[in-house]
């Protein structure tokens, strides 16, 4: 557990960053949020703004001076800021590159220059690319299938270089399809679960790309918070300067996901049970099958998911019902 530290969370107003912030602020930490609100939302952090131990810096990681200002006096950086979404990166690879690579490099430089002890960053399961191996093991990756995947792999390369050249303690966390409270269901690049939930609540047919037999290792937000805290506080020297899968180690077929979401929501509103999904063309750049091995994270970080997929989904559906309907 992170406590009595000054922690910078980049992308701190985003889905993941704001959830981490809420947890850390209850544990006697000083939390600094750096966000430009391109995808983050002010309502995600509204309750934190009046806390004397919480500081918001509205700024962009593409600006090195902003990064240097934000990292002064910081013990730990939890770098969540990124321009996510495979389809968005295909449509606009330049901006994705600027944010995810140049911005990431700025943060590494700022951390080095301000002698920040630990740098934990959000990596991505997209790095596995066209690798057909299941489950996905950290040391075996394929070729990237999208500009987004390229940027996240480059992050890992830069992290390794900064670790070896400058002695920065860096840990990367390859997130697998994170879901949970505060995840935005709106917009062209919204994640699958909140989009499906919103559609069902509105009695609209959820849209699924392809035949729905694709699989994902859906990961509840509380598991991600746990992994960040473990990575930020580990004293195991062998755990440093590594990359870890953060997932449940469960493979879920998208068609089955839709059925589970419908069943859970139908407990609140029986009319939802009559809504059926529609299938459209497959999406460019998507990985077809995804399942993580979490053995490395268990061994080196002591990671143990607090929520299975089913447990997390039930909690998430309860939150969505209260906040989206």
What are 63's two structure tokens? 């600006």
Q: Which residue has the tokens 């990756």?
A: 141
> Of the candidates 222, 184, 310, which has an alpha carbon nearest to the alpha carbon of residue 20?
222
- The three-class DSSP label of residue 123 is strand
Tell me if 272 sits within 8 A of 200, measured CB to CB: yes
Alpha carbon of residue 211 to chain centroid: 26
Catalytic residue positions? 148
Alpha helices by DSSP H, 60-115: 64-71, 86-91, 93-97, 103-113
d(CA 84, CA 73): 28
d(CA 118, CA 116): 6
What is the secondary structure of 168-201 as a DSSP string?
-EEEEEEE-SEE-TT----STT--HHHHHHHHHH
Give the CA distances from residue 144 to residues 22, 95, 131, 319, in Å, rounded to whole numbers and listed in that order.
34, 18, 9, 34
What's the maximum distance between 2 C-alpha atoms anywhere in the chain? 60
State the sign of the Cα–Cα–Cα–Cα dihedral 176, 177, 183, 188: positive
């Amino acid at each position: 557990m992170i406590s009595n530290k000054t922690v910078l969370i980049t992308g701190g107003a985003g889905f993941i960053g704001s959830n981490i912030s809420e947890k850390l602020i209850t544990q006697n930490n000083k939390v600094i949020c750096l966000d430009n609100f391109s995808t983050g939302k002010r309502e995600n952090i509204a309750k934190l703004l009046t806390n004397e131990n919480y500081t918001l810096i509205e700024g962009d990681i593409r600006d090195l001076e902003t990064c240097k200002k934000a990292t002064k006096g910081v013990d730990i950086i939890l770098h969540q800021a990124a321009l996510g979404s495979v389809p968005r990166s295909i449509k606009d690879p330049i901006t994705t590159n600027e944010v995810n690579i140049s911005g990431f490099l700025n943060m590494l430089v700022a951390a080095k220059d301000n002698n920040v002890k630990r740098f934990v960053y959000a990596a991505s399961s997209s790095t596995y690319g066209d690798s057909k191996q299941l489950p996905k093991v950290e040391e075996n990756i394929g070729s990237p299938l999208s500009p987004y995947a390229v940027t996240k792999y480059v992050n890992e390369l830069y992290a390794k270089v900064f670790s070896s050249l400058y002695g920065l303690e860096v840990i990367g966390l390859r997130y697998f399809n994170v879901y949970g409270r505060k995840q935005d269901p709106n917009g062209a690049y919204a994640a699958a679960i909140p989009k499906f939930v919103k559609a069902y609540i509105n009695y609209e047919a959820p849209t699924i790309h392809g035949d729905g037999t694709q699989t994902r290792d859906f990961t509840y937000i509380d598991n991600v918070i746990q992994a960040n805290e473990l990575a930020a506080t580990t004293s195991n020297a062998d755990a440093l300067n590594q990359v870890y899968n953060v997932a449940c180690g469960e493979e879920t077929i998208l068609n089955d996901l839709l059925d589970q979401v419908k069943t859970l929501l139908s407990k609140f509103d029986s009319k939802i049970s009559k809504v059926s999904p529609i299938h459209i063309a497959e999406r460019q750049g998507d990985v077809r099958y995804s399942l993580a091995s979490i053995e490395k994270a268990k061994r080196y970080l002591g990671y143990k998911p607090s929520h299975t997929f089913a447990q997390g989904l039930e909690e998430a559906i309860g939150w969505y019902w209260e906040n989206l309907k």
